[in-house]
Chains A and B, each alone.
Chain A
Amino acid sequence: MSTSSVTPLWEVFIRPRNGLAHRHCGSLHAADAQMALQAARDVYTRRGEGQSIWVVPSSNIVASDPSASAAFFDPADDKIYRHPTFYDIPDDVGHM
């Protein structure tokens, strides 16, 4: 859209029900916060998806660098002991 050069990008987070967390569901263009909130309502909650909406300027999101993903995430791959799967659970505890 030709508007993308003048209207900033916003990330939209929707909370589907009380008690759940807001989840990222997409992005949109809007001139300011109030308009972004309304656009989010029209674009992302038309089918009753939401109880609450957050919008955040995309420029305010600090993201990890994809080219550094090896350094960031690979070291966790061989540390399976960080999953709590090595404990014997007494029968009395039942289902956990």
Chain B
Amino acid sequence: MQSAALPTAESDARFIQLVRLADDHLILGHRLSEWCGHAPMLEEDLAMPNIALDLLGQARALYSHAGIIENKDRDEDALAYRRLEREYTNLLMCERPNGDFAHTMLRQLFFSVFMKHYWLSGESSSDPVVAALASKAQKESDYHVRHCAQWVIRLGDGTDESAARLAKALQALTPYLHELFESDSVTQTNGDVGFLPEPSTMQTRWRADIDTIFDLAKLCLPSVENLLTQGKSGGRQGLHSESMGFLLAELQFLQRTYPNMQW
């Protein structure tokens, strides 16, 4: 692989950011899959696991490629199932318990709008594998945005109860938005060499899309300054909330109990 020829720092940065992205998708996909069999209606019971499967597929591709770049003989399963809690570097938003349907939909909307723009930019990655992955994932994210936006609009502009629940979800999720756009030496290195875009460069596009949807949903997002300067952080350093351990206990159960078991 071309990665073998890269300076260590650069290949480390690539590995770290691919695993971050993969963790976001794995953990959020796992959360969404918890709705399977519990959704408010059969149609949604198919739609949410459908999105979860898309996220899982993206996580697999990201882990596999990260494993190749790392070059330490770790495959997608080793990365997804056989790490410790502190080694997972997903956004805190992704590991939050599902809450009610409004909470799940709004969280997914926030994440998917971000990923849609991120993958769109990622299509011009200097790494052809990442570019191909981005181009496939971009179409999937586009659909996730559509689906979640339709629900958020209907819940926000629906009954008193649905609007109240959505407003509550917005309040609960707002502190986690800041982390989406966080920048550090890893993202800067990858941004500079055109491997993956800097998350902070998605702000304007993300905000414009969310504002359009929120107008229809009769919701209002706090001002950009507050969003981007304040909020929870730590996911990228492996500092998780208390719910992460429970999530991993379930996620890793099979591989911990029957190591190396194959489907």
By a beta-carbon cutoff of 8 Å, the part of chain A in contact with chain B is: 1, 3, 7, 28-32, 34-35, 38-39, 42-43, 46
Contacts and interface: CB of A to CB of B under 8 A. Distances in A.
Given A38-B47, A42-B46, A46-B50, A3 B41 contact: yes
Contacts of B46: 39, 42-43, 46
Nearest to B50: A42
Contact of A28 (B43, B146, B147, B150): B43
A7 B44 CA distance: 13
Contacts of B44: 39
Contacts of A38: 47, 146-147, 150
Interface residues of B, number: 12
Interface of B: 40-44, 46-47, 50, 146-147, 150, 154
Main secondary structure on B side of the interface with A: helix
A46 B47 CA distance: 10
A1 B47 contact: no
Given A31-B154, A35-B150, A35-B154, A42 B40 contact: no
Contacts of B50: 42, 46
A65 B46 CA distance: 33
28 contacts: A1-B41, A1-B42, A3-B40, A3-B41, A7-B41, A28-B42, A28-B43, A29-B41, A29-B42, A29-B43, A30-B43, A31-B154, A32-B154, A34-B150, A38-B47, A38-B146, A38-B147, A38-B150, A39-B43, A39-B44, A39-B47, A42-B43, A42-B46, A42-B47, A42-B147, A43-B43, A46-B46, A46-B50
